Structure 1
Amino acid sequence: MFHVEHSGPMSTATPATSLAGLARRRLIRNRPAFAALLTLVAVALACLLGPFMTGHTPERIYPDLVRTAPGFEAHPRPETVRPAIDRLAFRMRLTVEDFSERDGIVRLALTASQRIDERSLSYLPRSDLFGPPTILERSEDGRRLVVEARVQKLHFLLGTDVLGRDLLTRCLVAGRISLLIGLTATLAALLVGVTYGAVSGMLGGAVDALMMRVVDILYALPFVFFVIVLLVFFRAGLWLVLVAVAAVEWLDMARIVRTQTMSLKSRDFVRAAQALGLTTPAILARHIVPNTLGPIVVAATLLVPRVILLESFLSFLGLGVQEPATSWGVLIAEGSRALESAPWMLAAPAGLLVVSLVSLNLLGDGLADALDPRLSEPR
């Protein structure tokens, strides 16, 4: 006979997994949602760091490069160097007697009816098309100068707007403000709406009816009228948009959370918590709100682009973000007015907005599945 010795019982138990860890694994397995998350991170990093790498400032105007089409080619192009020199010479009140270009260096012979003031040559570097000039020859009477200047290499990957500003830099800087407005207003709506809706649904009865009538009254107020009333007391700008949007966008969140709370408070685990003596705030924090995370996250991800669109609407009316600040809504409004002559002005900010919108929707669906406690862990 063979004797088999057992050192101990075989255990197949796995360590307990927290809700956050389980949700993280589910989200990573959901490829569209995870790709959307990476896309949003890339857009956010581009908006934060990109303006420092484009070589342009958002407010810098290039008057000689107005409505420049997108492309990888450096500006000014060879065929536009001489016209640019002629325009600058006209501003300097000089005449271009001779012109030559070689290896990115222009050589000019400038003449005038009277002695030339060297300070007028500052028009060349101020245009950002040419570097600081070097005087090679000067006539005895000072009415003729021979100068050299290097042609600058400027790149506009997304083109320029109607004033000659780099559109890529402006889109990235605008993304900072649009994302800031979307995230800040959404966070305020979450804090107010979740708290208000959970309390209303949990208490029920006359308190719930009164709280919901307040929501109905706020729903009845026209949004634009509310903004105009705020403008009577405050100056139009970024903070006005944040206050106006956050003041009305929590209403939908409150209704969603109230509906979820009313369906959850009759469940056995909530009754067990009440029987154990937990207070209402503790039940809300430990049981009600965690079980409504799915609908809350979906609503929040849909709220961010809606807030951005609301900001676009206000900015189009002149009630939102004001110059010199800008946002995707402001750029879309500018692009719509120049659609025929410069369609890229609309395509660039609208493309960023659409990418962010689609990514937020996909991420919201993925998070809803990842945070749903009723779904089993996939094997």
Structure 2
Amino acid sequence: MTEGNVNNNKWAPIDKSILDNEVIARPSLTYWQDAWRRLKKSPLSMIGLVTIVIILLLAIFGPMLSKYSYSEQQLNFANIPPKFEIYQVKDKFVYVHQEYKLIEVSEKGELLQRVVESEKNPADKYNAFDFYGDELVIDYSYAVDKSGTNGAKFTLELNGEVLQPYDTVSNKSYMLGTDSLGRDVLVRVLYGARISLLVAFIATLVNLIIGVTYGAISGYEGGRTDNIMMRIVDLINTVPLMLYVILLMVVMEAGLKPIIIALGSVYWVSMARLVRGQVLSLKEQEFILAARTLGVSKRKIISKHLIPNAMGPIIVSMTMMIPSAIFTESFLSFIGLGVSAPQASWGTLASDALTSLRSYGYQLLYPSLAICITMFAFNFLGDGLRDALDPRLRK
């Protein structure tokens, strides 16, 4: 056919917009990239992740940035709260302690020194002080007869004249106050985070190594081997954790090591059961049968195929077990089976504060709040990971 015989009316140019149908809208994502994309869509999960990162940074670097150590004692400044009322005495300022001691402070709330009593009279319920040539008297008889003005338990008198509170200020020297030995509560809470998180992460690491390996071998071998291995797990799980810790403390010194060993010897059993169930469902899949046909060894099938395909539930379970380990360590320390003084975990801080709960409730509030925030953060992250790593929810 020659060019002159072509009928141009029967031909039309192709619309190039058709080619847009073949354009890839977004690059292909791997399983983990897609999981991260879906995890970022959960606000609570991201809040939990950011909170965990902040807690870890504070635990590592917080005590280094403070001018006080976790064991440094200032007995003159014992049991001073984060906020307190100050009184103006001419150009000076003082704070009246709940134990009717007098502390000289700055107008902004910095603790300067304790004022020594010139006279203590428990019979008449008053303490007298020589304060830069002036006489200050703390009359705490109102704490007995309840007749103080506006419900006050004491009055502060300057040369016989009753002073009124000047202002309520924050404790600039110790942001979260001090404990019964004058130690900085903030530094001890941050240091306690090191102990509690160390125990939790070591228990999780043991969980990962022993629990995953044990459960994978049990599920893959099946039959008699599986029955024997699971009965061992049942036997370990029947002995209470408390008994493990007490027995270890009889053999070893009390402290952090028995708790770590006890948690490491018990916490992996639930992970082993989880991994066993995942392996039982995966080992009959076609890709495992193909690997067997090609002569791949059992060790490589478990390490290269089964465990990687079960990592979603494993990571979720590990994330959920970290707060459980923190709570267990805190409970053991709370009842006196934890680290020994002067070391402190959140549990020992809560236990020490319990004796003075009614007078100095802030000492119990902050370690308890730290435990709650950490457990909520890990639970939020665990819930988000459970949804993000579920392949049935991929879109």
Q: TM-score, normalised by structure 1?
A: 0.76
What amino acid is the match of 1:99?
Answer: Y
What's the counterpart of residue 192 of structure 2? 174
Q: Distance in 2 between matches of 1:9 and 1:178?
A: 59
* Residue-pair matches, total: 322
Where does 1:132-211 land on structure 2 (aligned, <5 Å)? 154-211=172-229
Structure 1 runs, 4 residues or longer, greater than 6 Å off: 5-9, 72-76, 95-98
In the alignment, which of 94, 98, 103 is matched to residue 78 of structure 1?
A: 94
Instruction: Give 1:74 shift.
Output: 9.3
Deviations 1:270-290 (A, max 9, x none): 333333433322222233222
Q: Distance in 2 between matches of 1:57 and 1:89?
A: 34
Instruction: Give 1:339 shift.
Output: 1.6
1:171/1:328 contact within 8 Å kept = yes
Cα 1:98/1:211, change in 2 over 3 Å: closer
Structure showing the higher strand proportion among its residues: 2
Identity of aligned residues (%): 37
Q: Distance in 1 between matches of 2:75 and 2:379?
A: 40
Instruction: Give 1:77 shift.
Output: 5.4
1:47 pairs with 2:72: no
Q: Distance in 2 between matches of 1:184 and 1:241?
A: 11
Instruction: Give 1:98 shift.
Output: 6.8
Cα 1:198/1:160, change in 2 over 3 Å: same
1:18 pairs with 2:51: no
Deviations 1:330-356 (A, max 9, x none): 112122232212111111011011011
1:61 pairs with 2:73: yes
Q: Distance in 2 between matches of 1:77 and 1:85?
A: 12
Instruction: Tell me the secondary structure at the aligned position of residue 78 of structure 1.
Output: strand
Q: Distance in 1 between matches of 2:390 and 2:118?
A: 66
Q: Distance in 2 between matches of 1:98 and 1:212?
A: 74
2:71/2:343 contact within 8 Å kept = no
Deviations 1:131-177 (A, max 9, x none): xxxxxxxxxxxxxxxxxxxxxx8522222112221111100010011
Instruction: Give 1:262 shift.
Output: 1.3
Instruction: Tell me the secondary structure at the aligned position of residue 236 of structure 1.
Output: coil
In the alignment, which of 271, 276, 290 is matched to residue 258 of structure 1?
A: 276
What's the counterpart of residue 32 of structure 1? 44
Q: Distance in 2 between matches of 1:292 and 1:77?
A: 65
Instruction: Give 1:5 shift.
Output: 8.9
In the alignment, which of 334, 348, 371 is matched to residue 353 of structure 1?
A: 371
2:86/2:94 contact within 8 Å kept = no
Contiguous gaps of at least 5 residues in structure 2: 1-7, 96-101, 105-112, 121-127, 135-170
1:51/1:173 contact within 8 Å kept = yes
Q: Distance in 2 between matches of 1:309 and 1:337?
A: 21
Instruction: Give 1:236 shift.
Output: 1.7
What amino acid is the match of 1:84?
Answer: R
2:237/2:269 contact within 8 Å kept = yes
Q: Distance in 2 between matches of 1:96 and 1:69?
A: 22
Q: Distance in 2 between matches of 1:175 and 1:74?
A: 32
Q: Distance in 1 between matches of 2:205 and 2:320?
A: 13
Q: What's the C-alpha RMSD, in Å, of the aligned pairs?
A: 3.0
Where does 1:200-279 land on structure 2 (aligned, <5 Å)? 200-279=218-297
Where does 1:260-299 land on structure 2 (aligned, <5 Å)? 260-299=278-317
Structure with higher Rg: it is 2
Q: Distance in 2 between matches of 1:77 and 1:191?
A: 59
Where does 1:102-117 land on structure 2 (aligned, <5 Å)? none
Instruction: Tell me the secondary structure at the aligned position of residue 230 of structure 1.
Output: helix
Cα 1:89/1:295, change in 2 over 3 Å: farther
Cα 1:321/1:29, change in 2 over 3 Å: same
Range with greater deviation from structure 2 (51-60 or 157-166): 51-60
